[in-house]
């Protein structure tokens, strides 16, 4: 891809945003994928000017990395299967992290 | 010289104007100005005005003027093709297209011979030169050649302006030089052609026309400087003279085109010599230039390479960073099903996936010990088997942060909560409805193997999680402070035992789950009413315990009742007091054949025997009277009456009556 420079999450219209977990792992995902989450959408493009909108970074102090990674996985899954006529498989969730993921999903509204 | 510098500046300005303008009028004006100016070969070479003017050769209006300008300037330049032609001029009308080398040889000889015939030579050369000029004009000249010619022309000029004596002197010396350097001349000629080729190649290699021009001009300057230096070395006095003459010449006005022509009719030998020297100088300077160019290219290329390398390294670093990130975040097994997606998604997945080991290292290095402990604590449950109480470890990170969680999203939270709950309930019913609807609509198809469930619609992560939780309620112990409201869809599907267990581990739910208990009560204990001051849960517990007690009681009694009965296999007698009765068909046959055996009941055998004996006695008495059948009948009569069928009995009575009447 030619957007090597655009991978930096700089500028208001950058392609990617950075999600930071509670244990300081940084997940760089496509902006449009992250906007699946209502909360992230509100943070990045809400009526008020949040800090996150400028830096394109969101820190989640209550979501650990093993959960946030699964959330990012879900973004991909959603993007892949939305408007797809093929059979949509289940999104696998392992029971160990289900509860945490559930809390995160509730928070992120996705 | 100051004036020359001014001229140069003017010409440069005009050149810029020429290149900038598009209007023919301005072009005309500029060309006219140029024609008025004194332009020498030096200036031509420095500014490169010749090239620009030449480009206007085919202009609509200014083309003619441009052409004339160019022609005039060309005459300034002593051309290479001119010198052999000039030599021919020496040879009294030899045709122009002879072999150059022969010419040179013959020329040298002639030079050696003709010392004094300068004037005649001049005259002839004049004539020849005029024709030569034409040829010069006709032959296509490359720019370096042109400038070389310019140099040569200049030198001719200078030579022409010298006194004949000086010229003769020069000739003599030049001739000597020529004689000694015959071979060099040849070589020069060869080399010059080669060098020019090399020049061409070099220029091609440079790939930029602008650079070519620049280099051309710089080359020429260098050549000139080199030729100057060469001439210095060869003949200091001569060169000094030449130079002084040259300097004087450069100051001359351009109006001497015809003057130039006159000048051109100078001593051809001197021209030749100067040409030779020029050529030598050129060759050497060119060689130097090439070297310089190469060396220049090298540092340029090196620098460019370095810069490229830097850029590449930066790119690589960036890539490596991303790569390392991607390495760090390799997809787990579950990602592989999604890897059919496009690249970007792949990369994103790679980035967003988690390779925890390397990140663990990072975190361990970076973090404080407290965080490490939490990280390790969180990770240890993932490795532990499912049966263990995993959830209680979530107590550690979550409670501290939950208020924030609520604060940030309270508004949406409450709005959506009801919707979600309702939607959850609806989903279940809708799902079932949808599925049945589908089944009704479609033809029933039979598949072998397990059917992979596909969702009718994309479920959000929230719903997916709820589904998973509902499927695994038994694993749910401590929830770590998850608000009841969001967990309610899961708890609705609990059995009372599960609900009780969860409440036990999470006391916060106790007061809130009552309606769930109510549902359980209604389901399990129908018809019971809620006591006062009793929650559903308490009622449920009460009723449940009652039932339990009842069950226990019943079981006890049953058990006890069963315990008195003999256990194991028992044997019982069927004919205790009576004689064993033969089966009916056997008995009928016995009566027919009279094979009825004496009744020998087993238990009262002794008494039976007595009776038998008595019976036999009586039967013996009776025997002579009666037939065996009757005895048989008699024997049976005292014990039993032969049971006669009812219809038979009637018929028998009837017969008896008939007999009695007869």
What's the pLDDT tens digit per position in B114-136?
A: 544 555 444 444 454 444 444 44
Among A98, A104, A108, the residue to mutate for chain B (most B Cβ within 10 A): A98
Question: B474-532 pLDDT, tens per residue?
Answer: 888 888 778 888 888 888 888 888 888 888 888 888 888 888 888 888 888 877 777 77
Question: B379-397 pLDDT, tens per residue?
Answer: 444 444 444 455 555 545 5
Structure tokens at B466: 């709820």
Q: For residue B335, what pLDDT is reported?
A: 58
Question: Could you tell me if B25 and B127 are in contact, meaning their C-beta atoms sit under 8 angstroms apart?
Answer: no
pLDDT-wise least confident of A33-42, A49-58, B288-297, B444-453: B288-297
The angle that helices B164-180 and B182-206 make with each other, rounded to 10 degrees, is 90
Structure tokens at B423: 């939607």
Q: For residue B151, what pLDDT is reported?
A: 54
Highest mean pLDDT pick, B107-111, B140-144, B257-261, B589-593: B589-593
Alpha carbon A51 to its chain's center: 17
Cβ-based neighbour number of residue B506 at 10 Å: 21
A24 and B390 within 8 Å at the Cβ level: the answer is no
How many Å apart are CA B250 and CA B420, to the nearest integer? Answer: 97
Please give the mean pLDDT across all residues of chain B: 61
Q: For residue B614, what pLDDT is reported?
A: 52
B511-536 residues labelled b (16+ CB within 10 A) or e (exposed): eebeebbbebbeeebeeeeeeeeebb
Q: How many helices (H) and strands (E) does chain A have?
A: 5, 3
Among A73, A82, A92, the residue to mutate for chain B (most B Cβ within 10 A): A73
Place of tokens 């200049």: B154
- Comparison of pLDDT for B423 and A64, the residue scoring more: A64
Between B341, B452, B472, which is nearest A76 by CB?
B341
How many Å apart are CA B564 and CA B226, to the nearest integer? Answer: 138
Cβ-based neighbour number of residue B152 at 10 Å: 26
Taking contacts as CB-CB distances below 8 angstroms, the residues of chain A near B403 are none
Taking contacts as CB-CB distances below 8 angstroms, the residues of chain A near B318 are 4, 7
How many Å apart are CA B160 and CA B85, to the nearest integer? Answer: 18
Among A16, A64, A107, A108, the residue to mutate for chain B (most B Cβ within 10 A): A107
Structure tokens at B411: 């508004």
Identify the closest residue of chain A to B361 by CA–CA distance: A25
Question: B530-561 pLDDT, tens per residue?
Answer: 777 778 888 888 888 999 999 999 999 999 98
Query: B85 exposed, middle or buried (CB, 10 Å; 0-12, 13-18, 19+)?
Result: buried
Q: For residue B415, what pLDDT is reported?
A: 39
* Mean of pLDDT values over B156-168: 52
Q: For residue B489, what pLDDT is reported?
A: 86
Q: For residue A63, what pLDDT is reported?
A: 92
Is pLDDT of B367 > 50?
Answer: no
Entry pTM: 0.34
* Mean of pLDDT values over A45-67: 81
Between A39, A74, A99, which is nearest B479 by CB?
A99
Question: Could you tell me if B350 and B331 are in contact, meaning their C-beta atoms sit under 8 angstroms apart?
Answer: yes
Question: B288-334 pLDDT, tens per residue?
Answer: 554 555 444 444 444 444 444 444 444 444 444 444 444 444 445 55
How close, in Å, is residue B531 to chain A by CA atoms? 36
Q: What share of chain A is helix, strand, coil (3-state, %, to 5)?
A: 45, 10, 45
The bridge status of strand A26-30 relative to strand A16-20 is: antiparallel
B469 and A98 within 8 Å at the Cβ level: the answer is yes
Question: Could you tell me if B512 and B479 are in contact, meaning their C-beta atoms sit under 8 angstroms apart?
Answer: no
Residues 6+ apart with CB under 8 A from B114: B90, B121
Q: For residue B234, what pLDDT is reported?
A: 47
How many Å apart are CA B95 and CA B85, to the nearest integer? Answer: 9
Q: Which residues pair with B309 in a beta bridge?
A: none
User: Which backbone phi and psi does A23 adopt, to 5 degrees?
Assistant: -100, 30
How many Å apart are CA B521 and CA B496, to the nearest integer? Answer: 9
How many Å apart are CA B169 and CA B238, to the nearest integer? Answer: 10
B468 and A61 within 8 Å at the Cβ level: the answer is no
Residue B506: which of B479, B488, B538 has the closest Cα? B479
Residues belonging to chain B: 662
ipTM exceeds 0.90: no
Question: Could you tell me if A90 and A73 are in contact, meaning their C-beta atoms sit under 8 angstroms apart?
Answer: no
The dihedral sign for the CA sequence B246, B247, B248, B253: positive
* Mean of pLDDT values over B267-295: 49
């Amino acid at each position: 891809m030619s957007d090597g420079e655009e991978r930096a999450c700089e500028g208001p219209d950058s392609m990617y945003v950075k999600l930071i977990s509670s244990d300081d792992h940084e997940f760089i995902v496509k902006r449009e994928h992250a906007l699946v989450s209502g909360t992230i959408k509100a943070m990045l493009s809400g009526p008020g000017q949040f800090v996150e909108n400028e830096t394109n970074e969101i820190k989640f102090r209550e979501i650990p990395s093993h959960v946030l990674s699964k959330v990012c996985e879900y973004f991909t899954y959603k993007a892949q299967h939305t408007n797809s006529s093929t059979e949509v498989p289940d999104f696998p969730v392992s029971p160990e992290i289900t509860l945490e993921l559930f809390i995160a999903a509730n928070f992120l509204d996705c | 010289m100051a004036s020359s510098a001014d001229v140069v500046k003017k010409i440069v300005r005009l050149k810029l104007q020429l290149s900038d303008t598009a209007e023919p009028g301005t072009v005309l004006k500029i060309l006219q100005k140029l024609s008025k100016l004194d332009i020498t070969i030096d200036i031509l070479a420095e500014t490169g005005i010749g090239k620009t003017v030449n480009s206007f050769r085919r202009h609509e209006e200014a083309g003619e003027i441009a052409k004339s300008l160019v022609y005039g300037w060309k005459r300034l330049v002593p051309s290479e093709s001119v010198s052999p032609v000039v030599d021919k001029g020496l040879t009294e009308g030899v045709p122009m297209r002879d072999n150059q080398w022969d010419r040179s040889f013959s020329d040298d000889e002639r030079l050696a011979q003709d010392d004094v015939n300068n004037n005649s030579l001049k005259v002839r050369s004049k004539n020849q030169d005029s024709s030569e000029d034409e040829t010069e004009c006709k032959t296509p000249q490359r720019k370096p050649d042109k400038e070389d010619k310019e140099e040569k022309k200049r030198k001719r000029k200078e030579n022409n302006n010298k006194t004949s004596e000086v010229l003769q002197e020069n000739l003599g010396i030049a001739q000597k030089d020529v004689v000694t350097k015959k071979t060099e001349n040849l070589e020069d000629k060869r080399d010059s052609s080669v060098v020019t080729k090399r020049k061409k190649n070099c220029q091609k290699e440079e790939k930029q026309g602008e650079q070519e021009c620049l280099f051309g001009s710089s080359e020429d300057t260098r050549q000139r400087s080199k030729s100057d230096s060469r001439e210095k070395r060869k003949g200091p006095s001569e060169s000094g003279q030449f130079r002084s003459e040259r300097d004087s010449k450069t100051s001359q006005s351009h109006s001497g085109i015809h003057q130039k022509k006159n000048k051109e009719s100078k001593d051809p030998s001197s021209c030749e010599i100067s040409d030779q020297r020029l050529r030598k100088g050129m060759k050497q300077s060119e060689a130097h230039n090439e070297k310089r160019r190469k060396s220049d290219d090298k540092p340029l290329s090196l620098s460019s390479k370095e810069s490229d390398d830097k850029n590449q390294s930066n790119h690589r670093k960036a890539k490596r960073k991303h790569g390392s990130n991607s390495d760090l975040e390799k997809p787990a097994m579950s990602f592989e099903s999604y890897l059919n997606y496009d690249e970007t998604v792949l990369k994103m997945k790679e980035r967003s996936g988690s390779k925890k080991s390397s990140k663990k290292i990072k975190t361990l290095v970076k973090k404080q010990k407290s965080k490490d402990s939490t990280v390790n604590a969180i990770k240890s449950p993932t490795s532990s088997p499912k049966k263990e109480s995993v959830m209680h470890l979530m107590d550690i990170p979550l409670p501290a942060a939950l208020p924030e969680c609520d604060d940030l999203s309270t508004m949406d939270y409450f709005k959506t909560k009801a919707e979600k709950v309702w939607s959850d309930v609806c989903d279940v019913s809708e799902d079932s409805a949808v599925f049945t609807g589908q089944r009704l609509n479609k033809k029933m198809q039979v598949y072998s193997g397990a059917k992979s469930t596909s969702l009718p619609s994309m479920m959000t992560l929230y719903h997916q999680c709820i589904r998973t939780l509902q499927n695994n309620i038994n694993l749910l112990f401590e929830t770590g402070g998850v608000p009841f409201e969001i967990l309610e869809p899961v708890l609705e599907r609990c059995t009372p035992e599960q609900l009780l267990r969860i409440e036990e581990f999470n006391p916060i739910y106790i007061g809130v789950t009552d309606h769930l208990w109510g549902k359980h009560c209604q389901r399990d204990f129908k018809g019971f009413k809620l006591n006062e001051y009793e929650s559903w849960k308490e009622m449920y517990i009460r009723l449940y315990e009652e039932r339990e007690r009842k069950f226990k009681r019943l079981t006890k009694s049953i058990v006890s009742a069963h315990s008195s009965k003999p256990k194991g296999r028992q044997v019982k007698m069927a004919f205790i007091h009576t004689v064993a009765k033969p089966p009916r068909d056997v008995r009928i046959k016995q009566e027919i054949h009279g094979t009825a055996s004496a009744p020998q009941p087993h238990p009262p055998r002794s008494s039976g025997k007595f009776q038998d004996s008595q019976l036999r006695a009586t039967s013996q008495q009776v025997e002579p009277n009666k037939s065996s059948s009757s005895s048989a009948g008699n024997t049976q009569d005292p014990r039993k009456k032969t049971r006669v069928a009812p219809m038979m009995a009637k018929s028998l009575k009837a017969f008896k009556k008939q007999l009695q009447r007869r």
